Every structure is written in structure tokens, then in C-alpha cells.
Structure 1
């Protein structure tokens, strides 16, 4: 007589079918599943043994392994992700090439390890659907009994030979080794589930469209043991963009505990401190200089540090970093425009106009090549302002605003024009351009 071993939970259990939705639980009586759903579908001629029937005094491990190794068919119910069932399934697929049939309650979300294997779903809550399931299960058991090889382990390792008493080790020692391997697989599965969860969180953070949504995700992440610095950095950037500076700094502090010498994290926390206000500028400079020690070829970081020094009135220091940014990225518009502004602020008028002329030429080339965006036209407007071309400046700014640029980009350009006015460089033309930019920001805020 053929033997069929059943690995499944027993008794009444309450748990979520989807491990990603732990609050949505349901109750299943697995004794009823066995007697009313699974057992009637087993073809005649099988001696069946359910796992809980082996829970008796004696060498339990040995009895388990005898059935898992020798049974012609193992029927495994994966509902609720029961660790005992997965343990028994792992042993079966490692030890035996014989047939294994997988079932689960409809709605169960299975881990990635078994998603590529054929699983037959029964509907515990819909009795009329059970006959079709039982027919499918009966056919699957009959088919599995004729397959030469069923285990994915033995498909992957076709030359693998398993015997009870082969080699120098006792069966108990071999089972212990397998148990350790299964625990390692369970650890890997937990790590993968954690990674999957973090990947989904990262997608949600990137898609967050409102400050309240960003703050809600921050509160969620704060309750979890996140190990991904990429996720924490993206969350901090979203918080910074939503002006939640304290929350952004706390998030970056968590990331720096994981990777204290990551220049990207140091750069970002420095930028957040700079955005937070003048009282935190010294702290911002410390973080940025540390990031530069680790990566001096970060042109954007040189630009950030230049912006910080400019706000602190250190125009010579700012010019040094803006020039370095231009050396690293000679075709980037930002270093060109900021070098021009610093030269103008320092009274180097001829050199300032030379840089703004270079900026104008670069912007016009991008426009001719149809590669221009709103930032191109904002820079072109500033170049024309600095060169005394008032009408051209206004036309460029109007063209930029027609593209509906982000309000923070327009505010940055307003800040630069106000800086030119403050430093008495192209002040009259800058004052003429400021109203249309301010009007745009006011309309967007309203």
C-alpha cells in the first residue's frame, strides 16, 4: 500500500492569510479542513498519516524523517505560513525526489521560495467550490505518484544521492545538519521578507505627494528596525522638501549609525542643516567638509558648500568651491551662474560679465539643441540681467514660468537676484525682473 504523509496545521487557528496585512485575520479549523476537504480527495489505496499523529513519546525526529523520506506522496498545507509545515516541506524536498503536493487556502500570500511551485487552492469559506478543488487534488496526487522527480532541490542537483546510512555520519547527525540548513533558510527568508518590506516602503516614499503623507511614512518608519540607508536617505530628502527639518535630521542620524562614513548621507544632513537656518550653518559646514574629505569630486557638494558660504558672507570661500564644481562639471549651468555671481559680488565686474556671457552662450546652445528646460531659461534670464539686457531677461523669465517650474526653483532665482541687488551688481535690471518671479510664487502658493 502506498503511503501519504500530510504536513499541515491542526486544530483551530487564527491568523492573517496575507502576512503583509497582519491586522486582517481569519479563523480556520484545520481538523475540519483535513476531514472535510483534503481527506475525501485522497485516492483509494493510500495509508495516510498526519504530522500531529506522530506527536507521541519516542524518537519523534526519526519518525518524521522516516515518513518524509519514505512516503510516496507528501501533502503540505501552506496556509498561515506555519513554520512546522515549512520545516517538513524543506526536509521532504531535500531528502526525497518523490511527489510533493502543495495546497493552501484561497487568498494565502506565499513567500517567494514557493511561489514558482504549483499550489492548489481550496476555498475554506465557500463549500460549493470544494468539489473542483478535491478533483484537482486527487488528480495532482495521482500525477505526483508517477513523476520520476518532483523536488526542486533534486531538479537543481540531479546527481544528489540521499541514503539513510551512507557515509560515516549517523542519520541523527545528518538530520541535525539538515535542521541547521533549514534554520539558515528560514533566516534567509526572514531577511528577504524584510528586504521586500523595505522596497515597498521606498516605493511609497518616492510616490508620496503631500507633506502629510511624507510625515505619516516617517512615523511608520520610526517604529521599524530599518537597515536600508537608501530608504532612510530618500525619506530624509522627502522630509526636507516638505520642510520637516528636525525629522529629516533624526532620520539621517539613524542612517549614519549604520554607515557613519557615507559621504552622501553626510552631504544630505549638511544640506538639511543649511536649510534649517543660520543657527545651524556651522553644523552644516562641518558635515559638508567631512563629506568632501571622503569624496572631493562631488561637484554638487561643492555647489552646496559654496551656497552655504555665500549665505554666511564668505564670498571668496564660496567662489573657490563654485570654481571647483565647474572644473568637475564644466557643462553644468549652476557652477557657471554662481561663479559669475560671486565675481560680481566681489567687485570683479569684468570677470563676472565674462562668466555670464559664457552662461548665456551655453543656455542658447541648449535651446538650439532643444534640450532646454525651465532651469535653462531661469539661468538665461539671470545672464541677460547681469549683462544689462533687460528685455531679453524678462523674455527668458517669462518663458521659464510658462513651463510651470517648481516653486523652490523660482525662489532660488529670486534669492540670487536679491543677492545681486544687495551687492549692487546689475541691481537696476534685477529689480525689474523680480516682480514677475514673485508674482508667480504668490500665485502658486495661493
Structure 2
């Protein structure tokens, strides 16, 4: 007779074999991909993380639309410019669903001298979104601002870690274990408390006749919805929207500028050409506005190349099919997760002359005029394109142009070279560096 332990082992083996067979059956109806294992799917092959280059490598074997399995959940990967563009825009309504990650769902429920430019960039960029959302700016020494900065840093650093991946795949287990996810939840609560305090202050002073910021506009919509009709406008949604705007509107643009200054130090000849153009076209005293980008083709090309080459989002945000649809010839059922590999479009060798090199010429014609490129998709595409795209483009041009017109950026004394390989967090960050900003 079998012992209890032997029977238990036999049962586990039987269940694993059955799941393996079920996975093989399910694979027949989806795009091709590497063979998934029971329980973990393809997570071992991915080392429990998404990496843009690994996805591009898998595409060489399985094609530009392929399937990866996270446990028993299939995720459809779109790779290369044509797959990403067609997959997100051919039937944009069908793949417009937003995937709510277990981690962020839990957070939403409440659980001249060398200097490092990162703080100054974050402070300047975040104050733009603060003016839009809260109606005021933070002084650099403000204690609350430093708390928000630290909380934001903790959340984004956790987002690219192994701990984040484990939480996404096994939230029911991680909720009961200690680890860095607890610190990230605490950091989110810092942002949540601040957002709710700002909402309380706005409520106390009342909604002005002319709304002055995002919170005012939102509170006005809440007031309109009090007529008894069902509405999605409420204070909880407002708090979460404020946090989303602060995180998305601060970190991504400041990180892109952080990369931009690093590239100017790494490629001083490009920096010099930008400065020469700015001096010749805009002069030293003219106020720079967004429309000036049309006059300075090379500077505009450099900014676009900073976005392309740094590719701070790496793999794009996942989408969910909201109805049965067809992508690139493959039928997909409602609820299927689609993941566009944005990096594969920005580095697609069929679309870019030298995809793995920093080359502003990617956005210039033979006469030196700026030309846009279809494969330039740093803000994604389709119905879930980045909400803040226009604001981000405006900020990048105005901040970058003003900085390069006012300063020459050089390496700190004794430093011979810089590291332009990324650090993988929620966004791809440059390694910490120090730069000398010499007034011109």
C-alpha cells in the first residue's frame, strides 16, 4: 500500500502533468511561444522579470507576436514597430482595457561644482504638475516635498525589482510575508495622505467661480453629480487620480531630462552643435516657447533621440482585450493580456539606421530639417496613449533648450567617462553621476 506521503507525491505529480497537458491544449489557440511549465509558465526563462532585450531575442525565434505564460495566464507580446503599431491601432477599442496590477490594486486600497542633477530636475518638473494639480509650487527646501520625493523614489525603485515581480505573480502569498513591498505600500500611503489633505484644503476653501487647478475642476464635477445620477466622480477616485498625475507627470519627464544631460556630457560635440543652433536662431535673451522647436531642427532632433535612445519605459504598459478580436492574424478572446514591447519599436533595425547608437540624424533629412518617424512611439499608441504626451513634449523642449543655452555641461574633474547603461527600476534610470554646469 502507498503511504500518505507517497500518495501525496503521486497526487502532486498527477496535477502537474494535468496542468502541463491543459497548457499545451490552450497554446493551440494562441500565438506561438516557448513551452510553459506547470505553475510557473515561462517565469523561470524570464528570471521573473520582463527585459526588453530578452523579449526581442524571443521574437527572433517565435515571431513578432508571441505568447508568454505567467503561471496559467497567457500574455501576448507585440515586438517590432509594425507589430506594436498594428496591434494597438488596427482595432484600438478592442485592446483598450487597462490591466490593474495586484501591487497597485493593493496600494490603491491603502495598504560650477560637480553636482548630481537628479533632485533639481525632479523638483523643477514636479512643480509643473504640482501647479496644474494643486495650484501651487514647492520651494526646494520644503519638508513635505522631500517626503513626496522619497516616497516616489521608493515606489519606482521597487517597481523594477524581483520583489515587485514576485508580488505581481503571487500576491496572495506576498501579502503575508515581510519584504520591500511593505516599504513601497508605506510610500504610497505617504502620497495618498498628502493627496487627501490637499483635497480637504480645497473643500474647506470652497470651489471658486473659476477653477484654478485640477482638484477644483474635479470637485466641481463631484458637485454636479450630486443630482442622484450614478457617477464615477468621487473623492476616492480624485485621490487616486492626483497620485497618478503626480507620479506620471514628475518622474518620467525628469528621468528623460536626466538622461539628456548625461548624453550631452558623453557626446560634447552634439552638445556644442545644439548650443550653436540655439545661439544663432534664438539668441541669448529671447524667451523660449514650445513653438520654437520648429526653428531649431537639430535641437528638436536631439531631444527626440534622447527619448528614443533612453527608452525609459522599456516594455510598454499591458492592455486587456475588452472583447473578442483579432491581432495580426491571431484570434484573441476577451480578457487576454497584450503587452507591447515599446523598446522593440524604438530599436527596430528596419526602422532606424543605427538603433543601438545615439544618433540625432535619425530625425533629420539630408538637408538638416527635422523629420518625424513612425516608429517613434515612446508614448505608446492607440486608445491608451500617454495622457500627458503634449505636456511632456513641451517640458522636455523648454527645459532642455534653456539648460543648454545657459550652461555647458562637463564631467567632474578626474572623471574620464560615463556609464550610459540603464539601471532597471519602474523606469530605466541612469547610474548616479555628477556634472559641472559652466555658465556660458
TM-score calculated relative to the size of structure 2: 0.24
Q: Which is bigger in relative contact order (C-alpha 8 A, separation at least 6)?
A: 2
Q: Which has the larger radius of gyration?
A: 1
Greater helix content: 1
